[in-house]
């Protein structure tokens, strides 16, 4: 559980670390285009070449950011699925304990109550 939680956290960190420069580089590219004269944009091949490299770099940076965001999304879904499975198994075990308490009145209830308290504390930890 801790390993999966750490994986989600690292995926989120990578996505954020890639998203911030992607936005900043995109803004710098737009400023660069705005500050370039119309004459240079029309007739200068070197300017077109430089802008082409900028567009390729920005596009690759955004592709990496989208890939990291997708990895974050998939890992968080897996984490949620594992968490829901654990909660479901704990709840079914609690229901079984209640049924045992109802059917076996002669059995010592202290054992079942301690097990129920243990499962409830585990449920609270999952909710935190």
CB 47 within 8 A of CB 41: yes
For the chain, domain boundaries: 2-127
Q: How far apart are CA 58 and CA 75, in angstroms?
A: 26
What pLDDT score was predicted for residue 56?
92
Percent share of the chain, pLDDT over 90: 8
Q: Whole-angstrom Cα distance, residue 60 to residue 22?
A: 9
Residue 44 has pLDDT above 70, yes or no: yes
């Amino acid at each position: 559980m801790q390993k999966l939680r750490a994986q989600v956290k690292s995926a989120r960190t990578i996505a954020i670390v890639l998203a911030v420069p992607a936005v900043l580089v995109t803004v710098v590219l737009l400023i660069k285009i705005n500050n370039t004269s119309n004459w240079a944009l029309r007739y200068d091949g070197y300017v077109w070449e430089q802008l082409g490299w900028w567009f390729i770099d920005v596009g690759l940076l955004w592709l990496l950011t989208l890939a990291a965001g997708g990895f974050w999304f998939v890992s968080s879904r897996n984490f949620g699925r594992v968490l829901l499975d654990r909660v479901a198994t704990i709840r079914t075990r609690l229901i079984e304990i209640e049924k045992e308490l109802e059917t076996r009145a002669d059995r010592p209830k202290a054992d079942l109550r301690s097990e129920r308290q243990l499962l409830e504390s585990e449920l609270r930890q999952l909710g935190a």
